[in-house]
């Protein structure tokens, strides 16, 4: 039962958001998709300790793969998700064979390079991808043959929420499995894990590939819902924003990815609407406050407040 708590909570929050903001479904859907991308980064960075700024590479690969699959092969949404996941996993797995042999700044720079190479390939293959104009003409069939993608965005929203619940449940199982626990051990002390005979390199590559598959699913959702794929799916800014969201919420706990994404995108949306020129100041101030006062992320706020309350009560007595 405890393993079902996360997905059930995701659905409950989705229902509440739908009831409270019925005219902002497009924005809510973008939040859900971004949560998927940040969750993939949490698996790679928060759980396995793999430093990366190129998660957009797998996101873009999944988006282009799902879009091309829908145009030329089959427009079924679930089949497109599977294709996007395979594309993201394949790119992460193949590049991970090289990347996981490095670490630190070298690893970070190489992950950025992979995303930039993918962007250039997509730009050059104009006959296939549309180049700088983007991949257009994506028309999806109804979800499960019953629910059409409507103009209001209700089907897209619930479709994205259902995918998020499934992925979140999968990540909960992975984090609690022996494989997930070994990834935590590799993150905390690779020397000790190597001393007990753990195959560090293989598990890091596998974790990177799984994270790539989830990022590919997020990209596929974007392609199916927006019916457009642009070169921006490979943008460095996307990977950087995902990292900021994860840091805000807290790494390695899954729920931190959800909290950080919701807060970042809500503040971003509100601040940009109120002041289109200085909204970055608000984002920067928020990130600095969290880094200085809550190094573990916003997910640790209840614990910090509890300690503060107990400390004040003891001082008063």
For residue 2, pLDDT over 50 is answered with no
Q: Determine which of 147-151, 246-250, 251-255, 303-307 has the lowest per-residue pLDDT on average.
A: 303-307
Q: At residue 120, does pLDDT exceed 90?
A: yes
Alpha helices (runs of H) in 43-177, residue ranges in sequence order: 55-72, 77-99, 104-124, 126-129, 154-176
pLDDT tens for each residue of 252-287: 989 999 999 999 999 999 888 888 778 888 888 998
- Residue range 313-317: average pLDDT? 57
More confident call, 64 vs 191:
64
Tell me the C-alpha distance between 246 and 170, whole Å: 19
Res. 234: pLDDT tops 60: yes
Average pLDDT, the chain: 92
Q: pLDDT at position 4, please? A: 53
CB-based contacts of 268-277 (< 8 A; 24+ apart in sequence): 269/27
How many domains is the chain partitioned into structurally?
A: 1
Predicted local distance difference test score (pLDDT) of residue 315: 57
* Whether residue 1 has pLDDT greater than 50: no
Q: Is the pLDDT of residue 312 over 80?
A: no
How much is the pLDDT for 46? Answer: 95
Q: Does residue 9 register a pLDDT over 70?
A: yes
Structure tokens at 67: 């879009």
Predicted confidence band at 296 (pLDDT cuts at 50, 70, 90)?
confident
Q: Report which of 10, 107, 97 is spatially closest to residue 55, judged by C-alpha positions.
A: 107
Is the model's pLDDT at 128 over the cut of 70? Answer: yes
- Count of CB atoms situated within 10 Å of the CB of 130: 20
pLDDT the model gives residue 176:
93
| pLDDT of 303 higher than 70 | yes
pLDDT surpassing 90 at residue 291: no
Separation between Cα atoms, residue 305 and residue 286, nearest integer Å: 18
- Residue by residue, DSSP assigns 159-225 as HHHHHHHHHHHHHHHHHHSHHHHHHHHHHH-HHHHHHTT--HHHHHHHHHHHHHHHHHHHHHHHHHH
**Rounded Cα gap, residues 81 and 59, in angstroms:** 12
pLDDT at 94 over 80: yes
In the chain, the percentage of residues whose pLDDT exceeds 90 is 76
Q: d(Cα 206, Cα 204) in Å, to the nearest integer? A: 5
Q: Range of 225's domain?
A: 2-316
Output the domain CATH number for residue 185.
1.10.3470
Residue 149's nearest CA partner among 82, 212, 75 is: 75
Rg of the chain's alpha carbons, rounded to an integer?
20
């Amino acid at each position: 039962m405890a393993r079902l708590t996360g997905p059930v909570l995701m659905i409950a929050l989705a229902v509440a958001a739908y009831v409270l903001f019925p005219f902002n479904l497009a924005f809510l859907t973008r939040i859900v998709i971004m949560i998927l991308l940040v969750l993939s980064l949490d698996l790679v960075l928060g759980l396995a300790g793999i430093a990366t700024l190129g998660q957009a590479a797998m996101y873009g690969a999944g988006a282009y793969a799902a879009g091309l699959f829908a145009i030329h092969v089959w427009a079924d949404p679930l089949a497109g998700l599977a294709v996007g996941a395979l594309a993201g996993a394949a790119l992460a797995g193949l590049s991970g064979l090289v990347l996981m042999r490095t670490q630190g700044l070298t690893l970070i720079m190489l992950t950025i390079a992979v995303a930039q190479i993918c962007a250039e390939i997509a730009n050059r293959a104009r006959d296939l991808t549309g180049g700088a104009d983007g991949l257009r003409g994506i028309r999806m069939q109804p979800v499960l043959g019953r629910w059409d993608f409507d103009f209001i965005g209700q089907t897209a929203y619930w479709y994205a929420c259902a995918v998020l619940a499934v992925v979140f449940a999968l990540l909960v199982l992975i984090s609690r499995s022996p494989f997930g626990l070994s990834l935590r051990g590799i993150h905390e002390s690779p020397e000790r894990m190597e001393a007990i005979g753990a195959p560090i390199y293989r598990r890091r590559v596998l974790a990177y590939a799984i994270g790539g598959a989830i990022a590919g699913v997020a990209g596929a959702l974007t392609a199916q819902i927006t019916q457009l794929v642009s070169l921006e799916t490979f943008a460095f800014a996307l990977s950087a924003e995902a990292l900021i969201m994860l840091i805000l919420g807290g790494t390695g706990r899954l729920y931190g990815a959800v909290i950080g994404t919701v807060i970042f995108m809500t503040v971003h949306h509100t601040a940009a609407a109120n002041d289109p020129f200085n909204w970055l100041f608000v984002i920067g101030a928020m990130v600095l406050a969290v880094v200085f006062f809550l190094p573990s992320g916003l997910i640790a706020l209840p614990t910090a407040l509890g300690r503060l309350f107990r400390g004040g009560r003891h001082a008063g007595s």
